[in-house]
A and B are shown apart, each in its own frame.
Chain A
Amino acid sequence: MSNISLSRNEKKALLRILDKAKSIEEISKETGLSIDQARSALERLYAKGLVEKKIKETTIVKLKKENQEYRKIGLPEKRLLELLKEKPLSIKEINKLFGREATPAIGALKRKAAIEIIEEGGIKKVKIIRNPEEIRIIEQEFIEKLPIELEKIKDLDLLAYKNLEKRKIIELETRKEYYYLGNKKAKRIVETEEFNKEYEEKLTPEMLRYGTWRNKEFRPYEIHSPVKKARVGRHHLLRVFIRKIREILLSLGFEEMQGPIINPEFWNFDALFVPQDHPAREMQDTFYLDMYTSNIDEAIFKKVDKMHRKGLGKGKGWGIPLDKDKSRRLLPRTHTTVLSARTLNKLDLSTLPRKFFAIGRVYRNESLDWKHLFDLHQIEGIVVGENLSLKHLIGYLKEIYKKLGYDKIKVKPSFFPFTEPSAEVYVYVKEKDQWIELGGSGILRPEVTKPLLGKPIPVLAWGLGLERIIMLKEGIRDIRKIYEPELGEAMYREIKWQ
C-alpha cells in the first residue's frame, strides 16, 4: 500500500470522488484543474487501481443545428407576437414577413388562445385577444435552457419540449461519459500519513538557487509505470554490418578499395578472362545500359586481348579476339571483383605484399522475391604477394571466418571463371547444426594477373554476399526485409551479431 505514490493532482481528484462518482468535467470544475490535467490524473488513479471507472450514457436535448438562431432572434411565434403588440396584421403581410414560418407561428399563438383571425373589408387579419403581458411563450423559455439532460426536464418545460419535438425544432443526442469513483483501497489510502504528507512534485532551479530544497521532501514515483519507447535515429542494418566487417578486415591489414559502379564490360568481364560469349554475360543475367565508355586504355586492352586470343606463353587462350565495341559497353558492375581488377592494374609492384578489400553494391538481372535482389552488396578481399598458395588462401579463410564467428569451415572445389584453383566455403552453423555455403574464393588465374600486373603474381581472392551473412546472423528469412523493414524494425531491431 505504501508503495502507491500519488501526485498532487491525483490527490486533489481522489479526495473528490470518495463518495460520489464524478465525470472529468465535474472534477475539473471542482478542483480547478484543466480538463486534460483532470483526465490524466483520473486515468492514472485508475491505472493504479484506486478508482472504479463507469461509463454513463445520458440523453441530451438540444437545438437542431439549423435552428440555432432561434435562441438569439426568438421562435417565429415570439417574433409575431411582438409585431402584433403594435398593431394587427393581415395574413398576407404575415406571409410576406415570415414566409415558411408564417403558418406555424399563427398556429402556435392560436393554440395559446392569444390571437384570433377576423375579416375586415374582405381582408383576413390577425389580432391579439388577450393582455399581451400575460402571454408566456414557454417554448422560448425552454430553448434558452438547452442543452439539457432529458431526465431533468420538468413541469412546463415538459410541455414545451413536447411541442418543440413535434415541430422538429429540437433533437436528442446520446453522450457517453466516464464517471470515476474511489474504491475501498482509495478510502484507506487517504487516511494514511503518506497521503497527507506535503510532498514537493519537482526539484526546481529556484529551489537549488535559494537552497529551499533542504526542507522539502519529494514525492516518490511509481517506478513500474510503463512508458513509450523513444523515437531514435539509428544506423541501417547494412551499415552496422559493413562497419563490423570493415573492422575485421582492417584489423587483418586490408586496405579499402573504391571505384565506379558503372563499368565497361572490359573491366567487369574481359580483364577477368571471362570470354565474350560466356553465359554470365547474356542479357538474362546482367543489366546493360545503351551507353559506351569513350576510352579504354589501349595498352591494357591489347594485353587482355592477347590473353583471350593466345593465353599465357606456354598455355592457351579462348582463341577469340576481343570485340572492342562489346568491351566498351557499360553495365552496373556484376561483382566487386571489377574493383580488384582495376586496383591490380594500378598497383606499384615495389609496394608488395598488399591486401585490399571492398564492400560495395553489385547488380544482377533478377526479379525481386524473398530469395533474390537485383541490387545487393558484395564483400571482397584480395591478397597480393609472391609465393602465395592455396594453403595460404585456406589460412586466410579460416582466420576471416573465425572473426565472422565461424570456427569450423570446410572448403570444396568450385568454379569461377577468373580463379584457378577455386574453392567454395562452407561454415558450420551451430544453431542449425548444418553446413551452409557462405562465400567463394580462389587464386586469380595467371591469365588475369599477367596483363594487369605484368607478371602472374599469385592473388588470393575471396568474396561473400553481405545480405547473405546478414540473413544468416540475424535470422532474416525474406531478403527484401533488409531494404524494406517496418519502421519499428528499423528503429528498434535487436542486432544479434554482437
Chain B
Amino acid sequence: MAIIEINSAELVGMINKNSKKKYSKKEILDKLNELGVDVELEIREGEEIFIIEVFPNRPDLLSKHGIARALRLFLGTDKPKTYRARKSNYRIIIDESVRNVRPFTACAVVKGLRLSNEDIRDIIILQEKLHQTLCRNRRKAAIGIYPMEKIKWPITYKALKPEKIRFKPLGINKEMNGIEILEMHPTGQEYAGLLEGKNKYPIFIDAKNNILSMPPIINSEDTGKITEETRDVFIEVSGFDPEFLNKVLSIIVTSLIDMGGILYEVEMNYPYSALKGKKKYKSPDLTMEKLVIDLREVKKLVGVGISEREAVRLLERMGIIYRNKIAYIPPYRIDIFSHADIAEEIAISYGYSNIEGELPELATIGAMDNKHRIIEMISDICIGMGLLEVKNYSLINREEALRTSKKRPIRIINAKNSNYNTLRPSLLASILNTLKRWMHEEYPQRIFEIGEVFIRKEEYDGPMKDEWIENNIAEPLMLGIGIAGSNEDFSRAKIIVETMLGILGKKAEYKPLKDKRFINGRAARIILNGKDIGIIGELHPEIIEYYGLEMPISFIEIDLEKII
C-alpha cells in the first residue's frame, strides 16, 4: 500500500483556506479516517507529519492536493467541480513507428503555475507513486513532465533505432545513445526490461529536433526538468491502453489545476485509431463518466433509510454528482464500476459508525463438513492413545521432499525462502522436523499430525475428487505418527495402528515393505480390504541421521481418504 506524508500545518492550512469553519488537526485526522484512509500523526525531526496510507483503489489521493480536494468535498467546504481544458494550437504527431513499440500517449499542457519547492516535490511524489502503483512500475504507463519554455511545437512521438537516439539523460551532462542509456544510466538499468526485444525505442521530439525523452525510461537533462522558475508544463503519459492513459493523465492534471494551473488541450494526430476509436482528437478527455444508477438498489445495499435528496447530498460530499438517474464520476476516480461502488460512497459519506448493525431474520441450519468431522474423530483417538498433536508448515525444501518420499516433488517456482519451496509429499518430513526441534527434550516422544500432502495425480492411487483430477494434483488428508525413544519400535507402532483401526471397526493386514526409508525387514504396508492404506516401520538410521537425530524412531502414515 502506498504511503504519503504531508506536513500537518500545511494540510490544516489547505483545508481551512476560504472555509467558514476552521478544523483542528484532530478533526482532520478523524475525518480522514472516516474517509477510508489510514492516518497517523508522527513527529519527525521536530516536524509534525500526517502519515497517510492510501488503498490501491484511490490513486487520486496520492498527492497532498488530492487529499485536500477529497477532504474539502467531504467536509462540504467545496462542491464537486467540472474540470475543463482551454482551446489551444498545441499539436502532437504520432508516428506509425511507435505502433509496435509503445503505441499510445495522452498529453496535456498546464500553464500559469507558481510552483514552490513543496509543490514540485508533491508533483514528483505523485508521479513516482503513480508509477509504482497504478502504472505497475511503468509497465502499464509512464509519465513525463517537461517545462514548456524550451519546447518548439509541434511535438512528434516516434520510434528510432536506439543507436540513432542521442541526448543527455536526466542527471548526466553528456550525450548518450539509446543503448548506452539502458546499459549505463541507473534509471536505464532499472527499467531496461520494459524495452527488451524492441528494435526501436520510442521518443518525444520537438520541432527543432530536440529529444524531450525516451519513455518509459528517462527525460532529457536539457528539456525535461521542472524548477521553481517553471510556469508552464507539457505532460505526456505513454503506454498501451488509451483509455487508461487518459485516466492517469486526468489524475495529474486535476491536481495541477488544484495547484492553480490552467489546463490547455493538445491535439492528438494518430495514423491509427486511439481513444474511443478516434484518430484525431483533443486531449485530455475530462468528461465525467456517466453511470446509470438505480438509487433504490444502492440504498438497499447500504440498508439505511435515507431520502433521495439526502443520497444526492451524501454523494456530492464524495465528489459525485447524481442527476436524473445518472451518476457523474469525476475524471480522477478510477474505482467506480457499478451501483455497489456508489453504495460504498454513500456509506462512507453517511459514516460507517453511524450505521446501526442489525441481524436479519435468516433461519439457516449449521453443519460441520464431513472431512473435518473425520479429522476431529481421528485426532481424538490419537490423543486418547497419549499422542501429542503437532502442526508443521506444508512447505518443505526439495531435498527433504526427495529424502522423505518416493513421489516426484511439486515445486513452488518463486518461493522467497528456499527452505520452503516444495509442497510436502508426505508427513514424514513434518514429523521429523518436530522431533528434531525437540531432540534435547525428554524421551519417549510420541507425536502425530493430520494434514494434507500433495501428490501428482498419476502417482496417487486413492479416491479422486473432481478438482484433483482437473489440477492433476491430489491433496489427500494424511495421518502421520512418529514415536521416538530407545524402546520405541515396530511392534509399539503396530499397537497404535491396531488400536486405532479397532476403534474404527476395521482390521488391517500387513505385507512386507521394501523401502529405503525403513530398516529392511522392519517395515510393512498396511492393507485394508485388499487396498494399501498406509505404511509402518522403523526408520532407517540414514534418514534419522540426516535430520541430526540420535534416537530410534518408528513412523506410521495412513491415508485417511482411503478409510473414510
Q: Decide: B415 and A368 in contact? CB cutoff 8 A.
A: no
Q: Decide: B468 and A421 in contact? CB cutoff 8 A.
A: no
Q: Say how far A51's CB is from chain B's closest CB, in angstroms.
A: 30
Q: Which residues of A contact B276 (CB under 8 A)?
A: none
Q: Decide: A253 and B133 in contact? CB cutoff 8 A.
A: no
Q: Decide: A279 and B56 in contact? CB cutoff 8 A.
A: yes
Q: Decide: A353 and B364 in contact? CB cutoff 8 A.
A: yes
- Assuming the A-B contacts A236-B391, A262-B473, A412-B352, are A487 and B438 also in contact, with contact meaning beta carbons closer than 8 angstroms in the complex? yes
A258 close to chain B: CB less than 8 A: yes
- Assuming the A-B contacts A234-B389, A392-B303, are A289 and B412 also in contact, with contact meaning beta carbons closer than 8 angstroms in the complex? yes
Which of A319, A367, A413 is close to B36, meaning CB atoms less than 8 Å apart?
A: A413
A287 close to chain B: CB less than 8 A: yes
A-contact bits for B475-513, CB 8 A (1 contact / 0 none): 100000000000000000000000000000000000000
Which of A232, A319, A458, A490 is close to B386, meaning CB atoms less than 8 Å apart?
A: A232
8 A Cβ contacts from B49-108 to A:
55-58
- Assuming the A-B contacts A249-B366, A256-B367, A311-B337, are A235 and B383 also in contact, with contact meaning beta carbons closer than 8 angstroms in the complex? yes
Q: How far is the CA of A165 from the CA of B348 in the complex (A)?
A: 99
A77 close to chain B: CB less than 8 A: no
8 A Cβ contacts from A261-317 to B:
261-264, 277, 279, 283-284, 287-291, 293-296, 311-312, 314-317
B117 close to chain A: CB less than 8 A: no
Which of A289, A368, A399 is close to B359, meaning CB atoms less than 8 Å apart?
A: A399
Q: Say how far A308's CB is from chain B's closest CB, in angstroms.
A: 11
Q: Which residues of B contact A445 (CB under 8 A)?
A: 337-338, 340
A31 close to chain B: CB less than 8 A: no
Q: Decide: A253 and B468 in contact? CB cutoff 8 A.
A: no
Binds B, one of A14-22, A135-143, A382-390: A382-390
User: Of B292, B441, B470, which is in contact with the most chain A CB atoms at under 10 Å from its CB?
Assistant: B470
Q: How far is the CA of A365 from the CA of B420 in the complex (A)?
A: 10
Which of A256, A290, A330 is close to B471, meaning CB atoms less than 8 Å apart?
A: A330
Q: Which residues of B contact A393 (CB under 8 A)?
A: 357
Q: Say how far B468's CB is from chain A's closest CB, in angstroms.
A: 7
8 A Cβ contacts from A239-256 to B:
239, 243, 246, 249-256
Q: Say how far B106's CB is from chain A's closest CB, in angstroms.
A: 15
Q: Say how far A420's CB is from chain B's closest CB, in angstroms.
A: 4
B-contact bits for A215-234, CB 8 A (1 contact / 0 none): 00000000000000001111
Which B residue sits closest to A442, measured CB to CB? B344
B405 close to chain A: CB less than 8 A: no
Q: How far is the CA of A420 from the CA of B301 in the complex (A)?
A: 10
Q: How far is the CA of A485 from the CA of B73 in the complex (A)?
A: 52
Q: How far is the CA of A392 from the CA of B365 in the complex (A)?
A: 18
Q: Decide: B303 and A390 in contact? CB cutoff 8 A.
A: yes
Q: Which residues of A contact B420 (CB under 8 A)?
A: 368, 374-375
B-contact bits for A400-413, CB 8 A (1 contact / 0 none): 00000000001111
Q: Which residues of A contact B344 (CB under 8 A)?
A: 413, 420-422
A366 close to chain B: CB less than 8 A: yes
Q: How far is the CA of A171 from the CA of B443 in the complex (A)?
A: 39
Q: How far is the CA of A257 from the CA of B410 in the complex (A)?
A: 26
Q: Decide: B379 and A239 in contact? CB cutoff 8 A.
A: yes
Count residues of B near A (Cβ-Cβ below 8 Å): 94
Which B residue sits closest to A488, measured CB to CB? B441
Q: How far is the CA of A138 from the CA of B324 in the complex (A)?
A: 129
Q: How far is the CA of A88 from the CA of B477 in the complex (A)?
A: 89
Q: Decide: B302 and A389 in contact? CB cutoff 8 A.
A: yes
Q: Decide: B347 and A421 in contact? CB cutoff 8 A.
A: yes
Q: Which residues of B contact A443 (CB under 8 A)?
A: 301, 340, 343
A259 close to chain B: CB less than 8 A: yes
Q: Decide: B339 and A315 in contact? CB cutoff 8 A.
A: yes
Which B residue sits closest to A240, measured CB to CB? B389
Which A residue sits closest to B454, measured CB to CB? A262
Which of A256, A290, A366 is close to B416, meaning CB atoms less than 8 Å apart?
A: A366
Q: Decide: B362 and A490 in contact? CB cutoff 8 A.
A: no
8 A Cβ contacts from A307-364 to B:
311-312, 314-317, 319, 330, 332, 353-355, 361, 363
Q: Decide: B379 and A235 in contact? CB cutoff 8 A.
A: yes
Q: Decide: A490 and B388 in contact? CB cutoff 8 A.
A: yes
- Assuming the A-B contacts A279-B133, A290-B413, A487-B445, are A253 and B357 also in contact, with contact meaning beta carbons closer than 8 angstroms in the complex? no
Q: How far is the CA of A262 from the CA of B301 in the complex (A)?
A: 33
Q: Which residues of B contact A111 (CB under 8 A)?
A: none
Q: Which residues of A contact B452 (CB under 8 A)?
A: 261, 361
Q: Say how far B304's CB is from chain A's closest CB, in angstroms.
A: 6
- Assuming the A-B contacts A312-B338, A446-B340, are A392 and B360 also in contact, with contact meaning beta carbons closer than 8 angstroms in the complex? yes
- Known contacts A365-B415, A390-B355; 13 additional CB pairs below 8 A are A233-B386, A233-B389, A279-B133, A291-B471, A291-B473, A314-B293, A355-B366, A365-B414, A374-B416, A375-B393, A392-B303, A398-B357, A421-B340
Question: Please, could you name 17 A-B residue pairs with CB atoms under 8 Å apart, sorted by A?
Answer: A231-B442, A233-B389, A253-B365, A262-B423, A262-B473, A314-B291, A354-B364, A355-B362, A368-B420, A391-B302, A391-B355, A392-B360, A394-B352, A399-B359, A413-B347, A414-B36, A415-B56
Residues of B in contact with A (beta carbons under 8 Å apart): 33-36, 55-58, 133, 136, 139-140, 241, 243-244, 289, 291-293, 300-304, 337-341, 343-344, 347-348, 352-353, 355-360, 362-372, 376, 379, 382-395, 410-417, 420, 423, 437-438, 441-442, 445-446, 452, 454, 465, 467-468, 470-473, 475
Residues of A in contact with B (beta carbons under 8 Å apart): 231-236, 238-239, 243, 246, 249-264, 277, 279, 283-284, 287-291, 293-296, 311-312, 314-317, 319, 330, 332, 353-355, 361, 363, 365-368, 373-375, 383, 385, 387-399, 410-415, 420-423, 443, 445-447, 458, 482-484, 486-488, 490-491
The 8 closest A-B pairs by CB, nearest first: A389-B303, A315-B338, A413-B36, A391-B303, A394-B357, A421-B344, A415-B55, A256-B369
